[in-house]
Amino acid sequence: MKKGFIRFIPNALSTGRLFLAFIFPFSPEWLWLWLVLASGFSDFLDGWVARKWQVQSWQGGLLDGVADKLFILSVLITFVSAGKFSGWWIPALLARDLLVAFTAIYAASIKSWDSFKKMDVRWSGKIATVSQFFLFLVILLLPAWTWPALCCAALLSGIAAYDYGRLFLLELRHRAEKKTSAM
């Protein structure tokens, strides 16, 4: 296969996850497990293909992240609406995502988008995403274990939020030091 064609595969998988995020709330409950599995598999596969064939891009990473966040938010809201757990868990489960969104808005507002773009994917973020997908599987397959899975996913989201926040503050400090030394 030509690398030009392969370049589109990760973005097509991420776009497919956006579609799954849109249809999830309107899907029958018996289909939820399959949609979660398809989304989780596409998330793994798009990253693997991009790394294996060296077709990573900043824009593709952004599309992947947005697709993940929208799918996770769609599932969380659907599960809360279906009475699977209380809505007060959503901010704790999305701590990392909320911090990253705030960071992007802040970086754009101070015209420091490059500082935000330099924030590489972190293992803490990958683990938080995996824990969210694991939470969905627990809710669907082992509902008696929902409470521990919620606590675990919220804790890992909080750790990832701290990690990303620390990274962004370090980048801002580095940017300020460069600006000061240039004067």
d(CA 96, CA 169): 15
Q: What is the pLDDT of residue 135?
A: 97
Q: What is the pLDDT of residue 1?
A: 52
Position 181 confidence tier, pLDDT thresholds 50, 70, 90: confident
Q: What is the pLDDT of residue 22?
A: 98
Q: Which two tokens stand for residue 59?
A: 């824009």
Report whether pLDDT(105) > 80.
yes
Lowest mean pLDDT among 92-101, 114-123, 147-156: 114-123
How far is the first Cα of the chain from the last one, in angstroms, to the nearest whole number?
51
Flag whether the pTM goes above 0.85.
yes
Place of tokens 């919620």: 150
Lowest mean pLDDT among 23-37, 48-62, 89-103: 48-62
d(CA 129, CA 72): 9
In one-letter notation, the amino acid at residue 131 is: S
Contact call for residues 99 and 161 (beta carbons, < 8 A) = yes
Lowest mean pLDDT among 32-41, 48-57, 97-106, 115-124: 115-124
In one-letter notation, the amino acid at residue 160 is: A
Report whether pLDDT(157) > 80.
yes
